[in-house]
Amino acid sequence: MGKVTGIGGIFFKCRDPKAITAWYADNLGLDTNEYGCTFEWRDMGTGQTGCTQWSPFSQASGYFDPSPREFMINYRVEDIEALVGTLKKNGVPVLDEITTHEYGKFVHILDPENNKIELWEPAP
């Protein structure tokens, strides 16, 4: 069965994404780019490397829809196809089909409180 293996990203809405990104760079030293900041890390148990994305979004963004929340968490997963199959059997709302990009596979679900969750299986 597929499962969550970690946090893939933290996404949040704000009034001015460029200004908030600059504030975090200037005051907290984040190494930012046009998408926010990518934190690279190494799993101490396996030695595998990975990354976690931090990204501010415009308050007008519809990317978090249908959730009314100001944030969305991206979870790293393994075997996204098996996980989605289990979620569907459990009655979890799966909002879209799995899409594949050069950096991995994605799908979106809703939790019981209508928080949109992004699931990401990183590319090998």
Q: What is the CATH number of the domain that holds 73?
A: 3.10.180.10
Q: Is 10 exposed, middle or buried (0-12, 13-18, 19+ CB in 10 A)?
A: middle
Q: Write the pLDDT tens digit of every residue in 65-100.
A: 999 999 999 999 999 999 999 999 999 999 999 999
Q: DSSP character for 69?
A: -
Q: What is the pTM of this model?
A: 0.91
Question: What pLDDT is attached to residue 124?
Answer: 86
Q: E strands of the chain, at which residues?
A: 3-14, 32-33, 36-42, 49-58, 71-78, 99-101, 104-110, 116-122
Q: Domain limits at 98?
A: 3-122
Query: Is residue 108 predicted with pLDDT exceeding 90?
Result: yes
Q: Which pLDDT band, with edges at 50, 70 and 90, does 48 fall under?
A: confident
Q: If DSSP codes are grouped into helix, strand and coil, which group holds residue 96?
A: coil
Q: What is the mean pLDDT of residues 33-51?
A: 92
Total domains, the chain: 1
Q: What is the mean pLDDT of residues 61-66?
A: 96
